[in-house]
A and B are shown apart, each in its own frame.
Chain A
Amino acid sequence: MLTSSAQTAAAAAAPQRRSRTLWQDTLQRLFRDPVVVICIAFLTLLIVIALFPSVFATAPYEQTNFPDKFAAPGAIAAGGKLEGHTYWMGADKLGRDIYSRLIYGTRVSMAVAFLGAGISFLIGLSYGLVAGYSRPRVDNVMMRIVDIIYAYPTLILIILLQVFLTALAQKDPAQMGAVERLLVDLDRSSGGLFFVFLAIGAVSWLNMARLTRGQVMHYKQQEFVQAAQIVGASNRRIMGRHLLPNVIGPCIVAETLAIPSYIYTEAFLSFIGLGVQPPMPSWGSMISDGYGALRTAPWLILFPALALSLTMFAFNFLGDAVRDALDPKLRDR
C-alpha cells in the first residue's frame, strides 16, 4: 500500500518536472550563447543568398565593363553596359561588379559546404557502420583500405582527381560513354562545380568512416545491442535502429567541424585555377585575382577574403558550440 501510494505521488509530481530530450537540452544550451545565435543567423543569410542570388545581386556576375576596371568601392559606372550602376565593393580587373560576384560566389561555397558534407556523411557513416559491425576479418580489410587511401595526402589526391575530371570535361563529346556524358553535362551546367564536389567527396568520407567505426566498436559490446541480438533483430535493424542513433551525435559534430575544410579546399582549388571554371565566380578565384592586384587595388581581395573567413569562422564556432552542448561532462557548469 505504502509503495503504491508513493508511486501515485511520484506520478502526480512528474508532469511538473518536465523532462527534456537530449536534443531539446542541446538546443536550449546552444541558443544561450549570443555568438551562436549570430553565427546561425549569418549562415541562414548565406543559405538564402545561395538559393536566390539573383535577388541580391545588382549586376550580372559575368558582365565586363572595361572603362571601370579597378573601380573603388562606391564608384558609379560612367558608361558602358552598366551605366549608372554603383560598385558597392568596387570592380575587378575586367570591370566586373565585385559585390555581385561575391553574391554568386556564395552559391559555390554553400553548395560545397552542404553537398560535400552530405556526401562524406552518407558514405562515411554507412561504411563505418558496416565495417564496425562486421566480422573482424571484413572489418580489418575495410579499414586497411581506408588506411591506405589515408596515406595519400588528401589535397594531392583531390588535385589529381580534379585534374583528371577537368580533362574528362574537355574530351570530345562524340567519344564519351553515356555515364561520362551525363557527368560532364552535370558539370557544365553547374559551371565546373560538380566535379569539385566529386573530388572533395571522394576523399572526405575517410575521416567519417574512421570515427563511425570507432564509435560502433564501442557500442556493439554493450548490453542493449546484445539484447537486440538475442531477441533476434536483423543486422540491418541493429545497425539502423540501435547503433546509428548512438553514433550519429559525434558524427554530426565532426561533420560540422569539417565543413570549413571543404569550403577552404574549394577556395584553394579555385585559387590555383583548378576549381570552378570561369566566368563562374568563386571566393577562391576572386581572392586569387585580388592577390594579383594587392599593391594597386587591395579592396579586390578584401571582400572575398572577409567572406571566406567569416563563413569558416561561423561554421567552426557553431561546430564547437554543438560539441560543447552535446558533451555531458560540461553540463551545468
Chain B
Amino acid sequence: MLRLIIRRFFWFIPVFFVVTGITFLTMHSLPGGPFDTDKTPPALVKQMENAFGLNRPVYEQYFIWLKNAVQLDFGPSLKQRGKPVASFLLPGLAVSAQLGTFAMLFALLIGLPAGIIAALYRGRWQDRSATLVAILGVSVPPIVMGPLLVWLFALQLDWLPVAQWSSLDDGLLPYLSHIILPAVTLGAGLSAIIARLTRASLLQVLGEDYIRTAHAKGLARHTVTIRHALRNALIPVVTYLGPLAAAVLTGSLVVEQIFALPGMGRYFVSSITSRDYPMVMAVVVIYAFIIVFVNLVVDVLYLFIDPRIDHAH
C-alpha cells in the first residue's frame, strides 16, 4: 500500500508541470496585462510590469514562479495591491470546502437511501418515482436550481437570505441559513448521480449467488440486505467519490457565481479576466492537487473495502 501511495505521489509531478505549464502559457499569451486600465499612464504600466518581472521572457517567468511555488510561495496578487495570493485564497478555499462538505453530505444523505429503496423495490412505484426524481435531479442544472430555490425560499416564503456568505463567527443560525441554499443547489445533482449508481450496483449484487445462499440459509431479510448486499454494492459508489469530488470542485465554482459566495472559484473567474496571473496559477494548482489527492484517498479506501483487489499489479 505504501508503494501505491508513493507512486501516486510521484504522479503529481508530471500533472503539476503539464497543468501549470498549459495555464501559464495560455494566461501569458492573452492580450492585455493586469495593469492595463484606461486611467493608468503607459509609463506607469511599464514600471509596474518591471517591478513584477512581467517584462522578462515567459519561460523565465515560469521558472521563477516554479521556484517560488515549490516553496509554497504563490507570489503577490497583481490586482489586490500586491497582497499575497494566499491571503485571499486561504479564506476562499475555506468557504469552498465548507460548501463542498455540506453539499456532499446532502448528496449522500438523499442519494444513498433513495438508491437503496429503488433497488429493493425494483419495478414498483417506489423505484419508479425514485428513478424519475433522479433523472429530474441531473436534468435541473445549478443555474436553474439556484434561482428556483432563491425565488421560492428567499423571495416568496422569506425563510432564508437571498445570497452572500456568513461565517461561523457570526453565529450558527446565520451561518446555516446562508449555506443551506448553495449546498442544496450543489448537492441536488450529485445526490441524483449517487442514487442511480447505488441502485444499479445494488441490483447487480442482489442477483449474485451468495445473496441467494444467504436467503436460503434463512437469514433475516434486512441482515442479507445490510450485511451481505450493501457492503459490496457500495464499492462502485466509493470509487465514484473521486470524480464526485471533482464535480463538487467545479460545481462549487458555478454555485459561488450564482450565490455570490467569496469562494475560490469566484477568485478564479474574476482573476482570469483581470489577468491576475499569480492568482489564476495558484487556484489551478490547488484544484489539480485536490483532484489527485482525492483519487489517491479513493484508491486507498478501495483497498480497505475490497480485499480482492490487488494493487501490486
Contact = CB atoms under 8 A, between A and B. Distances in A.
A296 to B, nearest CB: 10
Interface in A117-146: 144
A87 interface: no
Interface in A132-162: 144, 147-149, 151-157, 159-161
Nearest 4 A/B pairs, CB to CB: A313-B139, A155-B250, A312-B139, A305-B144
Chain B interface SS verdict (over half): helix
Interface string B1-43: 0000000000000110011001100110111100000000000
Interface stretch (B77-85, B172-180, B284-292): B284-292
A260 interface: yes
A320 B192 CA distance: 13
Contacts of A99: none
Interface stretch (B49-57, B65-73, B226-234, B267-275): B267-275
Nearest to A164: B26
Interface in B252-292: 253-254, 257-258, 268-269, 272-273, 283-284, 287-288, 291-292
B205 interface: no
B19 A316 contact: no
Q: How large is the interface on B (under 10, 10 to 19, 20 to 34, 35 or more residues)?
A: 35 or more
Interface of A: 144, 147-149, 151-157, 159-161, 163-164, 167, 170-171, 260, 264, 267-268, 271-272, 284, 287-288, 290-291, 294-295, 298, 301, 305, 308-310, 312-313, 316-317, 320
A284 B257 CA distance: 13
Interface stretch (B97-105, B145-153, B297-305): B145-153
Given A152-B19, A284-B143, A294 B135 contact: no
A46 to B, nearest CB: 14
Contacts of A148: 14-15, 18-19
B19 A151 contact: yes
B138 interface: yes
A312 B268 contact: no
Nearest to B140: A309
A112 B145 CA distance: 21
B22 to A, nearest CB: 7
20 contacts: A148-B18, A149-B18, A153-B287, A155-B250, A155-B253, A160-B27, A160-B272, A161-B26, A163-B30, A163-B273, A164-B26, A164-B29, A167-B32, A267-B141, A267-B143, A268-B254, A287-B144, A288-B143, A294-B155, A309-B139
Given A151-B19, A305-B144, A156 B14 contact: no
Contacts of A147: 15
Nearest to B18: A148
Contacts of A260: 138-139
A308 B292 CA distance: 32
Given A159-B269, A295-B155, A309 B144 contact: yes
A63 B139 CA distance: 31
B120 interface: no
A49 to B, nearest CB: 19
A152 B22 contact: yes
B31 A294 contact: no
A294 B151 contact: yes
Contacts of B143: 264, 267-268, 271, 284, 287-288, 291, 305, 308
A291 B151 CA distance: 9
B79 to A, nearest CB: 16
Contacts of B32: 167
Tell which of A155, A167, A305, A310 has the most Cβ of chain B within 10 Å.
Answer: A155
A155 B146 CA distance: 18
A320 B199 CA distance: 13
Contact of A313 (B136, B148, B254, B257): B136
A153 B249 contact: yes
B235 interface: no
Contacts of B45: none
Given A294-B155, A309-B144, A167 B30 contact: yes
Given A153-B249, A153-B288, A301-B147, A268 B141 contact: yes
B241 interface: no
A308 B150 contact: no
Contacts of B237: none
Contact of A171 (B31, B138, B258, B292): B31
A313 B288 CA distance: 31
B19 A167 contact: no
Contacts of A291: 143, 146-147, 258
A160 B26 contact: yes
Nearest to B23: A160
Contacts of B150: 294
A310 B135 CA distance: 11
A326 to B, nearest CB: 14
A317 B138 CA distance: 10
Contacts of A287: 143-144, 147
B135 A308 contact: no
B246 interface: yes
A277 to B, nearest CB: 15
B146 to A, nearest CB: 8
A198 to B, nearest CB: 14
Contacts of A155: 250, 253-254
Nearest to B19: A152
Nearest to B155: A295
A312 B291 CA distance: 27
A309 B141 contact: yes
A159 B30 CA distance: 13
Contacts of B253: 155-156
